[in-house]
Amino acid sequence: MKYLKNTLKSVKGNALEIHATPMTVNVNSDLIFGRVRHISICAKNEIMDTTNRIFLNKCSDIYRSDLVQDVLPFWLANGLDKVHGGFYTCLDRDGSRIDSTKSVWFQGRAGYIYAAAYNKIEPRKEWLEASRSAIEFMEKYCFDTDGRMFFEITADGKPLRKRRYLFSESFAAIAMAEYAKASGDKTYARKALNLFKLILHYKNTPGSLPSKYTKNLQTRGHSLPMILINTAARIRDVISDPVLEAQIDESIHEIRNYFMHPEFEALLETVGMNGEFIDTGMGRMINPGHAIETAWFLLDEARYRNWDKALVKTATTILDWSWKWGWDETYGGIINFRDCKNLPCQDYAQDMKFWWPHAETIVATLYAFLATGDKKYLEMHRKIHEYTYKHFPDAEYGEWYGYLHHDGTVAQPAKGNLFKGPFHIPRMLMYSHWLCEEILSQ
């Protein structure tokens, strides 16, 4: 592929004047972020010192080896159902099964992860087969007659529960898109797009989904617009349609105009229909990990748009705010929930440390450094990396613990449940390995 080689012309303060000349490189960077078209040309782009280069080299090696030698093998050995197909995720510390209920989320999530590993790490047959198993099980058992999907099913595919949200469908769509690329079966690209359009139908049709609250409280939630950015982008990697770009634009608009509240320097999870602040426990809640995940989704999109400066600014503003709210200055790590008025949070897990916000923060800090060259993000990355690797990985049985008390001690040792499985950790390991490699290449 044609890439850009940044060549230093002159140094003026902290800014580099750069000209770009094309060169051919024999790397997989064209596979890393979908349709990568542009390399970062950072505003500050300071040359890294030897210490930081050694640190990022080490991180890159750790992320790849943990993915290939630990996390993906753990779920293949313990989660893959060789009888019925699909994945179990309710696993104890040693990988033994503690519940045979299957999470529909994780049929899509696992289908995506193993296809992405096949596409972007190396084409291992067992990874493609694992993705196929999850997707075929999902197609056979996880869809209801209205086209929507269940949330929980039995081991052999009997439906148990269906929720009002559209997340099962979102994860199924990215799995189909990534599998289309891995398998070469382009019908799955069309299936992914059709499922995305079904999501939009239910999202945009009043009364098609049960309301969360009565007519006395009309709200917007942050979760769906943020997740649709990533869903649309992953589908866009394999098939083009105007609805994909339109939804990404709509989600960015909602995040900027409804959920970002500068008066609190916070991205709020729930607001009024026009972004109004709701002065209740629910309306005041900040989920730092969720906001940080949004930040790197926006950076991913900014990259696709030739490092759109305004979008980079939006993303790094969200990251800066959310780090300030989330980082625990006493014990380290990212706190689950905060109240934007510093009142007590109602959620019982408010000061716990969960696995996924730490995974998202590892990605986001690297992405922000790549986008801006600001070394504060490299320092943030160092802090989150060191905390995460000190507390979450299980050296004896593999994979990660999911739930820590506020002081970093393990709250419970299970490796999976209906919400934790092969997704946030392996996705982080893939993205972070690639990001380290790209930063080092510059």
Residue 281 in domain: yes
Residue 217 in domain: no
Please state, rounded to an integer, the average pLDDT across all residues of the chain. 91
Structure tokens at 215: 């007519």
Per-residue pLDDT tens for 397-414?
999 999 999 999 999 999
Residue 6 in domain: no
Residue 140 structural domain: 79-210
What region does 16 belong to: left with phi over 0, alpha with psi -120 to 50, or beta? beta
Structure tokens at 323: 């780090």
End residue of a domain, out of 158, 189, 210: 210
pLDDT band for position 47 (cuts 50, 70, 90) = low
- Looking at residue 409, what is its pLDDT? 98
- Burial (0-12, 13-18, 19+ Cβ within 10 Å), 301: buried
Q: Is residue 62 domain-shared with residue 106, that is, in the same domain?
A: no
Q: Is residue 187 domain-shared with residue 258, that is, in the same domain?
A: no
- Looking at residue 11, what is its pLDDT? 30
**CB atoms closer than 10 angstroms to residue 22:** 8
**Percent above pLDDT 70 for the chain:** 89
- Looking at residue 426, what is its pLDDT? 98
Residue 12 in domain: no
Residue 339 in domain: yes
Higher pLDDT, 39 or 417: 417
pLDDT band for position 429 (cuts 50, 70, 90) = very high
Q: Dihedrals φ, ψ of 258, to 5°? A: -115, -45
| DSSP string across 279-342 | -SHHHHEE-HHHHHHHHHHHHHHHHHTTS-HHHHHHHHHHHHHHHHHHB-TTT-SB-S-EETTS
Q: Considering the entire predicted model, what is its pTM? A: 0.90
Q: Is residue 99 domain-shared with residue 109, that is, in the same domain?
A: yes
End residue of a domain, out of 187, 210, 233: 210
How many domains would you assign to the chain? 2
Q: Is residue 181 domain-shared with residue 329, that is, in the same domain?
A: no
Helix (H) or strand (E) holding 103: strand 102-103
Residue 406 in domain: yes
pLDDT band for position 12 (cuts 50, 70, 90) = very low
- Looking at residue 234, what is its pLDDT? 98
- Looking at residue 442, what is its pLDDT? 86
Q: Is residue 61 domain-shared with residue 106, that is, in the same domain?
A: no
User: Of 150, 190, 187, 192, nearest to 175 (Cα)?
Assistant: 192
Whether 106 and 152 have beta carbons less than 8 Å apart is answered as no
Structure tokens at 390: 């000190």
Higher pLDDT, 230 or 18: 230
Q: Is residue 133 domain-shared with residue 274, that is, in the same domain?
A: no
Residue 336 in domain: yes
Residue 230 in domain: no
Reply yes or no on whether the pLDDT at 61 is more than 50.
Answer: yes
Q: Is residue 274 domain-shared with residue 170, that is, in the same domain?
A: no
Q: What angle do CA 198, 291, 226 make, to 5 degrees?
A: 15
Output 141-148 pairs: Cβ under 8 A, ≥24 positions apart: 141/86, 142/104, 142/107, 142/168, 142/172, 147/198, 148/198, 148/202
- For residue 113, the 8-state DSSP code is H
- Burial (0-12, 13-18, 19+ Cβ within 10 Å), 73: middle
CATH number reported for the structural domain that contains residue 346 in this entry: 1.50.10.10
Q: Is residue 245 domain-shared with residue 384, that is, in the same domain?
A: yes
pLDDT band for position 48 (cuts 50, 70, 90) = confident
Q: Is residue 266 domain-shared with residue 132, that is, in the same domain?
A: no
Q: Is residue 203 domain-shared with residue 247, that is, in the same domain?
A: no
Q: For the ranges 14-23, 319-328, 340-349, which has the lowest average pLDDT?
A: 14-23
Taking the CA atoms of residue 380, residue 294, residue 243 and residue 132 in that order, the dihedral angle to the nearest 10 degrees is: 80
Reply yes or no on whether the pLDDT at 10 is more than 50.
Answer: no
End residue of a domain, out of 171, 192, 210: 210
- Looking at residue 80, what is its pLDDT? 98
Whether 388 and 366 have beta carbons less than 8 Å apart is answered as no
Per-residue pLDDT tens for 212-224?
899 999 999 999 9
How, if at all, do strands 219-221 and 159-161 pair?
unpaired
Q: Is residue 156 domain-shared with residue 252, that is, in the same domain?
A: no
CA distance 20 to 23: 9
CATH number reported for the structural domain that contains residue 206 in this entry: 1.50.10.20
Q: Is residue 296 domain-shared with residue 416, that is, in the same domain?
A: yes
